[in-house]
A and B are shown apart, each in its own frame.
Chain A
Amino acid sequence: MTLPPRRTFADREEVLGAVMLGPALAYVILLVGVPFVFAILLSFSNATAGSLSFGWAGLGNYVAILGDPIFLRALRNSVVVTVGSQVLVVILATAAAQVFRATFRGKRFARFVLLLPWAVPVSLAAIAWTWIFDSTFSVINWTLKATGLLHGWLYWLGDPVLALLAIIIVQAWRIFPFATVIVLAGLSSIPQEIVEAAIVDGAGFWRRLFRVELPLLLPVVAVAVLFGVVYTATDLGVVYILTGGGPANTTHGTCYPLWRSSAASWAPT
């Protein structure tokens, strides 16, 4: 007589589940949860990066930073740049996805080229863009001049408004290829029959786009925008290399002054 096979470890779902979830849970608690709570606690203390002595400071830190005009400006800039670039991203990505949905010669190559901005290291790209926006050599200015669209001269990185616009352009340029890929995936998940039904129902291109495709794409576009917002709002490199926060501290995002003050607080006093 043979014994029934013994219940092994893998048969016991309650144990197996706990074991498999364990590492993920530990990761989230130790590397996300604890630092997050700790960061909030620290914000009410007078601790610095050099000394972790915990002295209660109440809302002092908040009062200080909200009273700092550079930080307020940086906060505003972060919002402007994030919203502005993401609006551009959504428009560009939707348009590009429409183009890449069609079949044409060299599509694979074109798609590869499209994805490049996303793959290029931020620092290198930003350096290239500083030349594009350069006060003397700006390709944009020379092109506009040559086509007769520009009569004066644009000091891209020297004017607070233009400098912010430049940052928006670079951020949009950097994020939109990724968004295009996401939107393209979303478009291909819309059943062909629904698009054809809209065609037969008499909807033209724009009606199909705004009444059928975009509403169906909304969840996917939301994901693309979420990624874009995180990338843009937390970015340091583009601002640092392109403007260094200038002219006159007008183009900082929130990250840059925070990074600088934390770096400064490391300095031996």
Chain B
Amino acid sequence: MAGIEIRSLRKHFGDLHAVDGVDLSIRDGEFLVLLGSSGSGKTTLLRMIAGLERPTSGEIHIGDQRVDGDVPPRARGIAMVFQSYALYPHRTVFQNIAFPLEASRTPRKQIEEKVRWAAEMFSITRYLDRYPRQLSGGERQRVALCRALVRDPKVFLLDEPLANLDAKLRNTARDDLKRFQRQIQTTTVYVTHDQVEAMGLGDRIVVMEHGKVRQVGTPQEVYEDPVDTFVATFVGQPPMNLLDAGDPSLPPHTLTGFRPEHFLPKGVFGSGEDLRAFRFAVRRVEYLGSDRYVYGSVAGSGAPDATIIAKLPATIALVIPEGETHDFAVPRRALRYFDATTGLRRTA
């Protein structure tokens, strides 16, 4: 077991700075999620930790070993799960899981034991004699995890391992994954573009954009206290509302941000709550079962046409007619302020 230290890590592909100066400290036993859209550099960062990509500059330490130079992947004590699972199609499930053990010249008897132990852990023992093509997506994913597990790695590297599963399966797979990681307590770096996965799995989340780290924090910190407008709108679905509220008490060029679930009809708040009120011109109401999304715009703001979204839980049964203006409000404690030019958080 080991933590990972990353110092001013860069990877340039010609003019493209895929990873552009990343400093990161991953604690021993931590489940760290790298979250970003495609092209944010999260996968390149993971591949550099794995040793599949050579850094342009910077340092990577796994445990007390510095690995960024010529240390090959097999000497780094890592195991990796790929998005496509990358199972060997010509080998049975047993042979797939045994492959890394064969490569490290483990005695045959020990291989047998370890494969069975891992297969038991993911309840795939009955598939050991099958070929990958005979398995479903979820089963393949578990085989890939087994293959990673048998190596006793110091670090698990997972590259969007749930992306190829259908939505129904993804929930259970996420739960399985988290329980499994808690059980073995191995440092895990997990790459995803799916913020639900990131929030649900990560002890901490690293939000990346254009090769740079925007914010590192617990899911709660990243969601409730985003450091800039990028994180505020990238994390959360629907994203945080941002508007130039034209509030004279604020310094100029200040954006006011609030989460859609805090933007509710004024009547639902208690009288003791310190509120910021808005006149909300409702354009359309979307019924989603457990929630209603209300789309509209806020009068008197800097950009009166910008779409603002309110997310009303099903517990609020109030009728909201479309095409009318309503009194909505946000509790002041839920307001976040950002600099309109730099996008950075302001205390205001």
Q: Are the CB atoms of B73 and A216 closer together than 8 Å? A: no
Q: Are the CB atoms of A212 and B82 closer together than 8 Å? A: no
Decide if A201 is an interface residue (CB 8 Å cutoff): yes
Query: Roughly how many angstroms separate A212 CA and B99 CA in the complex, as a whole number?
Result: 10
Question: Would you give the 0/1 interface string for A184-204, flagging 1 where the beta carbon is closer than 8 Å to chain B?
Answer: 000000010110111111111
Contacts of B103 in A (CB 8 A): 201-204, 207
Q: How many residues of B contact A (CB 8 A)?
A: 24
| Count of A-B residue pairs with CB < 8 Å | 59
B67: shortest Cβ distance to chain A, in Å?
A: 13
Decide if A215 is an interface residue (CB 8 Å cutoff): yes
Q: Are the CB atoms of B100 and A202 closer together than 8 Å? A: yes
Decide if B178 is an interface residue (CB 8 Å cutoff): no
A59: shortest Cβ distance to chain B, in Å?
A: 45
B15: shortest Cβ distance to chain A, in Å?
A: 18
Decide if B78 is an interface residue (CB 8 Å cutoff): yes
A83: shortest Cβ distance to chain B, in Å?
A: 25
Query: Roughly how many angstroms separate A201 CA and B80 CA in the complex, as a whole number?
Result: 8
Contacts of B74 in A (CB 8 A): 199-204
A33: shortest Cβ distance to chain B, in Å?
A: 37
Residue of A nearest to B105 (CB): A202
Decide if B90 is an interface residue (CB 8 Å cutoff): yes
Our pick among B72, B82, B89, B151 for the contact of A216 (Cβ within 8 Å) is: B89
Q: Are the CB atoms of A203 and B82 closer together than 8 Å? A: no
Q: Are the CB atoms of A196 and B82 closer together than 8 Å? A: yes
Query: Roughly how many angstroms separate A79 CA and B281 CA in the complex, as a whole number?
Result: 87
Question: Would you give the 0/1 interface string for B68-104, flagging 1 where the beta carbon is closer than 8 Å to chain A?
Answer: 0000111000111011101111100000000110111
Q: How many residues of A contact B (CB 8 A)?
A: 17
Q: Are the CB atoms of B50 and A215 closer together than 8 Å? A: no
Q: Are the CB atoms of B52 and A201 closer together than 8 Å? A: no
Residue of A nearest to B72 (CB): A199
Contacts of A194 in B (CB 8 A): 86-89
Q: Are the CB atoms of B90 and A201 closer together than 8 Å? A: no
Q: Are the CB atoms of B50 and A191 closer together than 8 Å? A: no
B273: shortest Cβ distance to chain A, in Å?
A: 52
B residues 44-64 in Cβ contact with A at 8 Å: 50-52
Contacts of B50 in A (CB 8 A): 200
Decide if B147 is an interface residue (CB 8 Å cutoff): yes
Q: Are the CB atoms of B90 and A196 closer together than 8 Å? A: no
B75: shortest Cβ distance to chain A, in Å?
A: 9
B134: shortest Cβ distance to chain A, in Å?
A: 17
Contacts of B84 in A (CB 8 A): 191, 193
Residue of A nearest to B76 (CB): A200
Our pick among B51, B83, B147 for the contact of A201 (Cβ within 8 Å) is: B147
Contacts of A193 in B (CB 8 A): 82-84, 86
Residue of B nearest to A207 (CB): B103
Q: Are the CB atoms of B82 and A197 closer together than 8 Å? A: yes
Q: Are the CB atoms of A212 and B52 closer together than 8 Å? A: no
Q: Are the CB atoms of A201 and B151 closer together than 8 Å? A: yes
Q: Are the CB atoms of B79 and A200 closer together than 8 Å? A: yes
Contact (A199, B73) CB under 8 Å given A212-B88, A216-B90: yes
Contacts of A202 in B (CB 8 A): 73-74, 100, 103-104, 151
Question: Would you give the 0/1 interface string for A202-216, flagging 1 where the beta carbon is closer than 8 Å to chain B?
Answer: 111001000110011
Q: Are the CB atoms of A196 and B88 closer together than 8 Å? A: no
| Most A CB within 10 A of own CB, among B51, B74, B104 | B74
Contact (A198, B52) CB under 8 Å given A193-B84, A215-B90, A216-B90: no
Question: Would you give the 0/1 interface string for B189-223, flagging 1 where the beta carbon is closer than 8 Å to chain A?
Answer: 00000000000000000000000000000000000
Contacts of A191 in B (CB 8 A): 84, 86
A139: shortest Cβ distance to chain B, in Å?
A: 42
A196: shortest Cβ distance to chain B, in Å?
A: 5
Our pick among B72, B78, B86, B90 for the contact of A197 (Cβ within 8 Å) is: B86
Residue of A nearest to B50 (CB): A200
B88: shortest Cβ distance to chain A, in Å?
A: 6
Query: Roughly how many angstroms separate A197 CA and B72 CA in the complex, as a whole number?
Result: 13
Query: Roughly how many angstroms separate A191 CA and B72 CA in the complex, as a whole number?
Result: 21
Residue of A nearest to B74 (CB): A202
Query: Roughly how many angstroms separate A194 CA and B72 CA in the complex, as a whole number?
Result: 17
Contacts of B72 in A (CB 8 A): 199
Contact (A200, B52) CB under 8 Å given A193-B82, A193-B83, A207-B103: yes
Contacts of B99 in A (CB 8 A): 198, 201, 203, 211
Contacts of A201 in B (CB 8 A): 74, 99-100, 103, 147, 151
Q: Could you list 12 examples of A-B contacts with CB < 8 Å?
A: A193-B82, A193-B83, A196-B82, A199-B52, A199-B74, A200-B80, A201-B74, A202-B73, A202-B100, A202-B104, A203-B74, A216-B89
List residues of chain A with CB under 8 Å of any chain B CB: 191, 193-194, 196-204, 207, 211-212, 215-216
10 new A-B contacts at CB < 8 Å, known A191-B86, A199-B74: A200-B51, A200-B78, A200-B79, A201-B74, A202-B74, A202-B103, A202-B104, A204-B74, A207-B103, A211-B99
